[in-house]
Structure 1
Amino acid sequence: MTHTPELPLEMRRNGLDPVEELGQVRDDQGVLRQMTAFGVPAYLILRHEDVREVLSDATRFSSRMRFPDDDELSEEEQAKSRAGHLIAFDPPEHTRLRRMLTPEFTVRRMRRLEPRITEIVESALDDLERSGKPSDLVAHFALPVPSMVICELLGVPYSDRGEFQHRAARQLDLSAQVEERNAARREQRAYMADLVARAQAHPGEDMLGMLVREHGDDLSADELIGIAGLLLLAGHETTSNMLALGTLALLQHPDQLAMIRDDSARAEPAVEELMRWLSIVPSLMRTTTTEVKIAGRTIPAGSIVVPSPIAANRDSALIDDPDALDITRSAASHVAFGHGVHHCLGAPLARMEMRTAFPALLRRFPSLALADPDAALDFQIFSPVYGLRSLPVTW
């Protein structure tokens, strides 16, 4: 059974754009008191400067918080669920965990992965072509590419992808009952626990094997399970939605699509602009540890604040004409990957996948188009990650 929660302002969209009211409230007030998608009161932080301030200050704005979904879990389950979950910790715990993972996500390490990512992209394009037209770009390209990459990186069997993708979808579905989301969390944790146990017994050359060999004395089994689970979820869910929504955005801007198709060097700035413009993670959450003042508003200690990347990235204080997509400009200060100590660990990997995938897709299918331009698209609305469930295309 599902219910329909009231969507907070930053999660409401008109297709690829945030609703107009978001920009109006940002420009007029800067801060809005509202209910989160989890049904708890919070202060929505909207301006680019203020969002960066919140995300850069882990002392006044803590990542430690209790979510309503946790209330159904026992204290032991809650502790196990939090273990290794980088985004739920502040320094020094966060620093300790991140330091072990950072070497695996450096730009240099990503360059070594580039040939394999290229192979994975080309294989997915072959599958898309074989599927015949019209075809679903999500099922045959946007989802398989990052799923296979993160599976190989972590040491997760790609044959299990259907199961973990289904569990991920249930975990992130905010229209589902809390019990259903938590059931998916338990199932996913049990799956990851089995993978970790296997890695501990026979560590391979993948990331799980590396963590066991090099940090086995420093990381508990629960922490390994949490780290692996977070990387698996984030590693395929975010990039797959960027590939699908980014393709849709380019189809809606054919002149910019042609630039990337005809010159792959355009892909690098295009990825940054698409990240800024789409901002598929519309909000983050922090808890104030002391009374703070933001945009002239006093916020008490112990309050939940919700810095909104989508509002910040569409702020005219960041960039001129922020509601326009323009892949020729620099949007280096966007916060689509977060900011501060919690800046997305996998950002170099996501960038590499998108820089490879977009030009390859557009070269292989130079006449790529929506299968039915007038058909309503199936957007993933009730989720902390905005996306498309399917994208029917032809060529």
Structure 2
Amino acid sequence: MSMPAATPTSARPFPIGRQCPYRPSADYAAFRQDGPLSRVSLYDGRQVWLVTGYAEARALLADRRVSINPRLEGFPALSAEMAELEGTGYTDVLIGVDPPVHTRQRAMLIPSFSIRRMNALRPAIQDIVDQRIEAMLSAGPPVDLVATFALPVPSMAVCVLLGVPYEDREAFEGPVRGLFDPDPDRAGEAMAALTEYFGQLIDRKERNPGTGLLDDLIADQVRTGSLSRDELVLYAMLMLIAGQDTTANVISLGTLALLEHPDQFAALRDNPGLVPGAVEEIMRYVSLIEAISRVALEDIEISGYRIRAGEGILIGSAAANFSTALVSTPEQLDVTRSPRHHLGFGFGIHQCIGQNLARIELELAFRALTQRIPGLRLAVPAAQIRTSVTGPMERLTQLPVAW
């Protein structure tokens, strides 16, 4: 039997702010009291479903009756700036398209993101991590871990992967941040700047090929007519943004979490073999993305609820990651466990295509921080650390550390 939808007066506002930057809000407990699905009210007053149950979140992420297409009526945007971004071409590859378009696009990239291909990059990424650790040690304490380590490591790594010159970073780092500017004009200017940069980069690569993923796509897909040049620009933009921004935030937030739980930092320092599993626990605990947006294409019955066609769905990955259905003590950060089935990389056909690369970067980063700087500590009280929410993600603007 279907349960009735919540009445308008019972819909809680969403998103909810975090009391702690590196873990989901304790207020999710109130949502869970309603059951695995709740009704929430967005910034524009529209009401949508919020899914906080772990099993229900996984089921809906794998359900072909829900769409990722932000251009469909009813698709829920978490903010006005996200609504503006989702109406641009940025979402026309992978993150905003359904099968069969998504199937074709993803098939072009999957071979390039295999575990084998990513492991081949491990020595280069290790060199990057070592360089940034040396830069921190040379600068001496205190240093800002965000600027000196968390941001440059994934930025340099994704540049190696794509074949993007890291010396071009001034041309793309500013526009990447500007994409999520609340001013739609500035966000539009950032999109135009990124489109122009990647168009020029592809021109250069067509004249003088290199060895990166973009070069492979030009040779194997663009020249054969399987991929348009405009699509390649969007591919490049998406992979650069996703490849550096998300991983950088996990490194900075994960480090803050470890430093505020010194017993967990010590466990990794004393037993580096725990690090690969700890990456999964940090991904679960940090839960970088609060919710994943979808819209129902058909009526869906799930756990006694009926989601009607055209209704917006927010799959609360952060709340689901703190479910006892995933780990027995979700409120604890425990680096001795490895919850591989967390939703930090999503689930289903839209699961993060770069997760193999991200895992390597995070493993090497956290191993280096705990082994090379065993006395790492916060240089200021945690309450003084500056945070911001840009787009769908919580982030640290700086993380002063000492040793």
Q: Deviations over 1:180-232 (max 9, x none)?
A: 22222222222122222222333321100000111112000111011110000
TM-score by length of 2: 0.89
Tell me the secondary structure at the aligned position of residue 295 of structure 2: strand
Alignment of 1:257-272 (within 5 A): 257-272=265-280
Determine if the alignment matches structure 1 residue 209 to structure 2 residue 215. Answer: yes
Change (3 A) 1:177 1:152: same
Q: Report what 1:366 is aligned to.
A: 374
Change (3 A) 1:78 1:20: closer
Determine if the alignment matches structure 1 residue 304 to structure 2 residue 340. Answer: no
- How large is the RMSD of aligned CA atoms in angstroms? 2.2
Change (3 A) 1:263 1:335: same
Structure 1 gap segments, 5+ residues each:
1-5
Q: Report what 1:170 is aligned to.
A: 178
Q: Deviations over 1:245-287 (max 9, x none)?
A: 1111111111221221222211011000000111101111111
C-alpha distance in 1 between matches for 2:132 and 2:309: 49
C-alpha distance in 2 between matches for 1:371 and 1:79: 41
Determine if the alignment matches structure 1 residue 63 to structure 2 residue 68. Answer: yes
C-alpha distance in 2 between matches for 1:101 and 1:224: 11
Given that 1:267 and 1:358 are in contact with CA atoms closer than 8 Å, whether structure 2 keeps it comes out as: yes
Which of the residues 116, 127, 139 maps onto 1:119? Answer: 127
Given that 1:121 and 1:356 are in contact with CA atoms closer than 8 Å, whether structure 2 keeps it comes out as: yes
Change (3 A) 1:202 1:295: same
Given that 1:117 and 1:149 are in contact with CA atoms closer than 8 Å, whether structure 2 keeps it comes out as: yes
Q: Report what 1:319 is aligned to.
A: 327
Given that 1:276 and 1:336 are in contact with CA atoms closer than 8 Å, whether structure 2 keeps it comes out as: yes
- Residue identity opposite 1:184 in structure 2: A
Change (3 A) 1:40 1:234: farther
* Mean Cα deviation higher: 292-301 or 312-321: 292-301
Q: Report what 2:8 is aligned to.
A: none
Q: How many residues align?
A: 383
Which of the residues 99, 120, 133 maps onto 1:91? Answer: 99
Alignment of 1:53-202 (within 5 A): 53-57=59-63, 59-66=64-71, 80-83=89-92, 85-173=93-181, 176-202=182-208
Report the CA distance between 1:71 and its aligned residue: 8.0
Change (3 A) 1:10 1:333: farther
**Percent sequence identity over aligned pairs:** 39
Change (3 A) 1:280 1:38: farther
Report the CA distance between 1:127 and its aligned residue: 1.1
Q: Report what 1:42 is aligned to.
A: 48
C-alpha distance in 1 between matches for 2:84 and 2:261: 46
Report the CA distance between 1:309 and its aligned residue: 0.8
Q: Report what 1:392 is aligned to.
A: 400
Change (3 A) 1:261 1:39: farther
Change (3 A) 1:155 1:391: same
TM-score by length of 1: 0.91
Q: Report what 2:336 is aligned to.
A: 328
Change (3 A) 1:70 1:355: closer
C-alpha distance in 2 between matches for 1:164 and 1:259: 38
Report the CA distance between 1:80 and its aligned residue: 4.4
Q: Report what 1:3 is aligned to.
A: none
Structure 2 gap segments, 5+ residues each:
1-11, 72-76
- Residue identity opposite 2:207 in structure 1: A
Determine if the alignment matches structure 1 residue 8 to structure 2 residue 24. Answer: no
Given that 2:39 and 2:47 are in contact with CA atoms closer than 8 Å, whether structure 1 keeps it comes out as: yes
Tell me the secondary structure at the aligned position of residue 387 of structure 1: strand
